[in-house]
Amino acid sequence: MGELFGLLVRFSVKPGAGAAFDELTAETVEQIRTREPGTLLYAVHRVPDEPQARLFYEVYRDRAAFEAHEAQPHTQRFLAERERYVAGFDVTFTTLLIAKGVVDPDQAT
């Protein structure tokens, strides 16, 4: 597998803003699903014991695919609107080493 680019984002959602943040996220992910072939995986998780926490795990074909994702109108809207719902966040950039279920399209047969 090539050197895929990824990130893990941990959001802390403001009290009472979870449903609105989740709705904004769902709208955004639908656009990612249909418009971003370079986004290989975009998974959003809740944390059972932390109702205000959301984890995003994202894998892109490469850094250019991530930059294309960031430039999309739906991503720009998400980045602007999330400020109403999020108390803070932490981003960790990653390089995928090994996985099951993530396929590099350039390596697929």
The tens digit of pLDDT for each residue in 74-103 reads 999 999 999 999 999 999 999 988 888 876
109 in a structural domain:
no
Query: Does residue 105 lie in a domain region?
Result: no
Q: Is 56 exposed, middle or buried (0-12, 13-18, 19+ CB in 10 A)?
A: middle
* Banded pLDDT at 106 (limits 50, 70, 90): low
In a domain, 63, yes or no: yes
Does residue 104 lie in a domain region?
no
For residue 28, what are the domain limits? 5-95
Chain segment 30-54, per-residue pLDDT in tens: 999 999 999 999 999 999 999 999 9
- How many structural domains does the chain have? 1
CATH number for the domain spanning 37: value is 3.30.70.100
Q: Is 33 a domain residue?
A: yes
The reply to whether 42 falls in a domain is: yes
- Residue 80 DSSP one-character state: H
